[in-house]
Structures are given as structure tokens and as C-alpha cells.
Amino acid sequence: MKKTIIAVALTGVFATAAHAQSSVTLYGLIDAGITYTNNQAGHSNWQQTSGTVNGNRWGLRGGEDLGGGLKAIFTLESGFSISNGNSLQNNRLFGRQAFVGLASDQFGSLTLGRQYDSVIDFVAPLSLTASPYGGTIAAHPFDNDNLNSSDRINNSVKYTSVNYGGFKFGGLYGFSNTAGAFANNRAYSLGASYRYGGLNVAVGYLQLNNDINNLAIAAGNPGAVTGTDTFAVGTQRTAGGGLSYTFGPVTAGAVYTQTNLSNAQGGMVSAAQAGTAAPIRLKANSAHLQNIEGNVRYALTPTVTLAGSYTYTRTNFGAGENPNYNQVNLQAQYAMSKRTSLYMQGDWQHVSANPYGFGAHLNGLSSASSTQDQVAVSAGLRHTF
């Protein structure tokens, strides 16, 4: 009898030890609110909104300890609308992220799947649009530099280094997966960051390639970039850098990015999912956009945080079309707990010219203004688990 009890106890111990070598975590974020817009296609609008600040998601992440400082890791992350329960990212099951790989304490990680590029990994965290303090609506016009993650990269192989005394670097390559068309619908990016005390500095580069005569952006295409998220051009090059500094309760930062579009055919070019961003019309076969953002975040109390940003975007769409955008984003957030917060946010965009009949358009809103200005005021609840 005693032997049986001992055997059962040992079985439980070994089962617990084996289980401790691997783990799976369920996580997510839910953001819902009410947004008032002064002008959408000539009319004011009240909307129940989903993901006003951060996109709604749920996911699974896990790892298995392989010994010697080596682990197998994976992430599966799904985006959805809290307003109607629909899947986002062109109705993909795991449209936000889906990858598996190996991570070494000594050499870094190597992962394969649908992943974020290096501009998102390194530069975006210095911008208010990639934070809980500005988010989706705070994105630069058309999310032209992808800091708000309009594009994810399919078929990608990604390397991220370990932290070398505050310095990290990484790179990604996304395959076209098409025989005889290696360079069509592929992507690659590089990035690096350095942290020292309260200082954080980062740079990044992203390039997307397509054959303009055979644009491979359909949702079912096997290429690196799919869906209607991308600019419909042959080549998109985005480069940028930024820095931030934290001193006491204040974090201040600045970000500069530029996006160059080439081998375009003009016409209507959209930079976000269908129906969520104003199109732009390229007058030539190339275009240039520059973004300069300054931002600040202040922890007024342990539970109240104030944040704001200003972005100036200078553009050249060809043939003398060069509207400039001024955008201001302000937010107050109250943390009810570590996982639940209330927020109030105001956003304003002004376009210096009103070319080809399209006015200001804040990212994430359902339609553009009929004038050169658009204002949105949002109140919402954000919960993580």
C-alpha cells in the first residue's frame, strides 16, 4: 500500500516537472468606446467604436525549455471587432501574428511565419500611435510609415538579437513563395535600438516589392504582403528613427519617418483596409511622404496619465500636388486597475490643401471629411487579460 502511495506521489512530481518545462499563455486586449466626429463625408457622426486606441485581439503564446538556454517558442494572435465579433485582417484566424521558432539566451531568436517588420519592432514604440496613449487614430496620415501595423509580413524569417548592454538589432525577410517570381511581393527590413538609463534610440528600414503590372496583393495570394493594406505601387521604401527620454514621471520623444513610393501607375491608392482610410491620387509614378512627430507622456498620479503628440506630414504626390498635414492628438487615461483603464481622447487633423476632392481623414475612421479639417473625440474602456 505504501509503495503504491509513493509511486502515485512520484508520478505527480514528475508530471509537474515535465509540465513546468513548457507553458502556454492565453492573453488579449479589448478596447471599446464611443466616438464623435465633426465631419464624415459632410455629416457629423456618433459611433460605437472598436479598437479606438489599440486593436482588439486574443492570442496564445508559449514555449518549451529545450535545455542549455534554448527554447521553442510560438505566438498565435487573432484580431477582431468588439462591435460585431467579426475577425479582422481579411478574416484571418490569426491575422495579427502567427509564428514559431527557437530562442537562445546567448544568440537571440529565429522565428518563421506571419510577423511584424523591424520598423514596427524598433521605431514604432517611440511613437504615440504604437502605445496605449494615442493608438490607432494617432497614426500618421494613411499610416504611410506602417507604425500602426497596417501591414504584416507573411512567409517571413525573422532574427532578433539578445540585449547586448542595451543594444539590440534584428532583421526580417518575407518570401514571395511564387515560382519564377522571387522578387514579386517580397519584403525585407532591418532595425536596431539602444537603451541607456532613461534614453531610448532606434532606427528601422522596410522595403516592399511588387510588379506593378501584376500586383500581388489579393488576400489569397501566397506573397509576403497581402490584402488591401499596402500602397498599390511597385516599390515602397520606409525608413525612420526616433528617440525618447524618461525623467521622473515624464517621457518625451521625437520620431522622423519617410516613405518613398515608386513604379506607381497613379489612380486611387489606398493605404489601409477597405473603407477605413481616404484614398490618395498619385499624379506621377512616384510619391514622397515625410513625418515629424513630437510626443510627451506625463504620469500625473499613479493612476492618471496625460499624453499628447503633434505630427507634421509633408507630401509630394507628383504634378504639383503636395498637401501637408498637421495633426494633434491628446489623451487622458485613468487606470482603474493594472488591467482596466478608462480614456478620453481628442484628435484633430488639418490638411493644407484639399486636392482631388478629398479632405482630412484621421486613421481608423470610416470616411474622410468633406473639408480640410476633421475632429474626433472618443471615450472608452480598455481591458487586458
Cβ-contact 374, 367 below 8 angstroms? no
Q: Are 203 and 118 in contact (CB under 8 A)?
A: no
pLDDT over 60 (residue 229): no
Q: Give the residues across from 240 on adjacent strands.
A: 204, 257
pLDDT digits (tens, 9 = 90+) for 36-64: 999 999 999 999 999 999 999 999 999 99
Q: pLDDT-derived band of residue 218, with 50, 70 and 90 as boundaries? A: very low
Residues in Cβ contact with 370 at an 8 Å cutoff, skipping those fewer than 6 apart? 39, 41, 42, 359
For 150-164, 268-282, 355-369, which range has the lowest pLDDT when averaged over its residues?
Answer: 268-282
Under a CB-based contact definition with an 8 Å cutoff, are residues 88 and 95 in contact?
A: yes
What is the Cα–Cα distance from 119 to 117, expressed in whole angstroms?
A: 6
Instruction: Give the DSSP letter of residue 318.
Output: S
**Hey, what's the cell of 383?**
481591458
**pLDDT number for residue 181:** 83
Cα distance between residue 111 and residue 118, in whole Å? 13
Q: Which residue has the higher pLDDT, 41 or 320?
A: 41
Distance of alpha carbon 323 from alpha carbon 314, whole angstroms: 7
User: 1 pLDDT band (50/70/90 cuts)?
Assistant: very low
Res. 339: pLDDT tops 50: yes
pLDDT for residue 320: 77
Distances (CA, A) of 45 to 294, 326, 372: 29, 22, 17
- State residue 3's pLDDT score: 45
What is the β-pairing status of strands 324-335 and 340-351?
A: antiparallel
Mean pLDDT of all residues in 122-130: 97
**Which pLDDT score, from 0 to 100, does residue 230 have?**
60
- Give 9's contacts (C-beta < 8 A, 6+ positions apart): none
Is there a contact between 75 and 59 (Cβ–Cβ < 8 Å)?
Answer: yes
Distance CA 223, CA 225 (A): 6
pLDDT confidence bin for 322, thresholds 50/70/90: confident
pLDDT tens profile 180-192: 888 888 999 999 9
Residue 284 has pLDDT above 90, yes or no: no
Q: Going from the N-terminus, what domains does the chain have, and what CATH number goes with each?
A: 47-54+117-154+165-384 (2.40.160.10)
Q: What is the pTM of this model?
A: 0.89
Rg (CA), the chain: 22
Whether the CB-CB separation of 314 and 323 falls below 8 Å is answered with no
Contacts of 144 (CB under 8 A, 6+ apart): 231, 238, 259, 271, 289, 291, 313
What are the tens digits of pLDDT across the range 82-121?
Answer: 999 999 998 899 999 999 999 999 999 999 999 999 999 9
Q: Give 330's pLDDT tier (boundaries 50, 70, 90).
A: very high
pLDDT at 281: 66
Is 80 exceeded by the pLDDT of residue 206? Answer: yes
- The alpha carbon of residue 279 and the mean position of all alpha carbons in its chain are separated, in whole angstroms, by 20
pLDDT, one tens digit per residue, over 151-169 is 899 999 999 999 999 999 9
